[in-house]
Amino acid sequence: QVLLVESGGGLVQAGGSLRLSCVASGRTFSRYAMGWFRQAPGKEREFVATISRSGISTYTYYADSVKGRFTISRDNDKNTVYLQMNSLKPEDTAVYYCAFRASTGWGLFSSASEYDDWGQGTQVTVSS
């Protein structure tokens, strides 16, 4: 099992930015895909972004609702995945979760069921 610890959430005004971090321990980090999901009150958990395992190229994929505003990246030396969030909107308010996929296969994974370990979540609140 992988331990995931998120940080970087907070309160920000609409149009502002935040950067979330997720540190993973327990595995060779670069070999695994990572994802970010979010859950707003009264709603189901939804996909935000994913980044493939590292190789000659590293691939990313985003939900339409965040495309062009959010950027997912990874620093394998620090076992950390980031989510840079710009131009934040009130509808981005949610608890954001980091997710780890235990399989080393290649691909981009947007379903929560494809991930094996989850962080505790970090709250992001965007005021209008």
Segments in the chain below pLDDT 50: none
For strand 10-13 and strand 122-127, is the pairing parallel, antiparallel, or unpaired? parallel
* Closest residue by Cα to residue 66 from 31, 103, 110: 110
Euclidean distance between CA atoms 37 and 6, whole angstroms: 12
Whole-angstrom distance, CA of residue 123 vs CA of residue 128? 16
Tokens standing for residue 124: 């992001």
SS3 78: helix
For the residues of 89-115, what is the DSSP string, one character each? -GGG-EEEEEEE------S----GGG-
